[in-house]
């Protein structure tokens, strides 16, 4: 097995297992078996479980950023690009395997004991707020409005996961539209 293919196999298996069952519930032997490599090989690629978790979270950030950017790119106006975040969320909430935000889940499970998890979650959430704020400012809103809309998206994620209400994205989108309409200037 090529070094990159072994690495990819571990990260894909870890991503799926960690997201569906939680990080602590997945042992290294189970992860090795799911990745189809030897335990020795896995430890040669990743010196610790913490390293695997950090890489999975980094990978998830790239997937998330690409997804929201792709959805935004389908819209012409700055206002519609802001609201497209909620369209992206709606599609995600309706996936069969939706279990909430991997960063919130990982932070809640390990943020206090695994600094790499806390750092990845902080970085991811900070970058999301910055992205939303940039879009809101382009739409004529303030930085404060950007934070407000980012908080609506975050709240929709938690609500959709815990309350199993996928319509949370559309409700949050309606609130974001009202905020944009009242807080932007042409």
Express each pLDDT in 34-60 by its tens digit: 999 999 999 999 999 999 999 999 999
- Residue ranges per domain, the chain? 1-47, 58-183
Band (170; pLDDT cuts 50, 70, 90): very high
Cα–Cα distance list, 104 to 67, 119, 176 (Å): 18, 12, 22
Average pLDDT over residues 126-147: 97
Query: What topology does CATH give the domain 1-47?
Result: Arc Repressor Mutant, subunit A (1.10.10)
Q: Is the pLDDT of residue 63 over 90?
A: yes
User: What would the mean pLDDT of 124-153 be, rounded to a whole number?
Assistant: 97
Q: For the residues 113-136, what does the mean pLDDT come to? A: 96
Residue 4 CB contacts under 8 Å (≥ 6 apart), including other chains: none
At the fourth CATH level, the homologous superfamily of domain 58-183 is: Tetracycline Repressor, domain 2 (1.10.357.10)
- The answer to whether residues 30 and 97 touch, using CB atoms and an 8 Å cutoff, is no
pLDDT of residue 185: 65
Q: Averaged over 164-168, what is the pLDDT?
A: 91
Per-residue confidence band for 166, with pLDDT thresholds at 50, 70 and 90 = confident
CA 61, 68, 54 angle in degrees (round to 5)? 5
Would you give the end-to-end CA distance of the chain in angstroms?
A: 56
């Amino acid at each position: 097995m090529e070094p990159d293919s072994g690495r990819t196999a571990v990260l894909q298996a870890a991503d799926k297992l960690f997201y569906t069952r939680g990080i602590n519930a997945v042992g290294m032997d189970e992860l090795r078996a799911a990745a189809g490599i030897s335990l020795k090989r896995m430890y040669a690629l990743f010196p610790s479980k913490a390293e695997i978790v950090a890489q999975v979270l980094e990978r998830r950030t790239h997937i998330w950023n690409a997804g929201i950017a792709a959805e935004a790119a389908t819209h012409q106006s700055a206002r519609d690009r802001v609201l497209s975040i909620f369209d992206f969320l709606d599609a995600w909430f309706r996936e069969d395997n939706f279990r909430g935000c991997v960063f919130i889940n990982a932070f809640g499970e390990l943020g206090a004991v695994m600094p790499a998890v806390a750092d990845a979650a902080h970085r991811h959430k900070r970058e999301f707020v910055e992205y939303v704020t940039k879009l809101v400012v382009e739409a004529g809103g303030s930085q404060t409005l950007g934070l407000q809309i980012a908080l609506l998206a975050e709240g929709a994620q938690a609500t959709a996961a815990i309350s199993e209400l996928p319509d949370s994205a559309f409700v949050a989108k309606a609130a974001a539209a009202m905020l944009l309409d009242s807080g932007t200037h042409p």
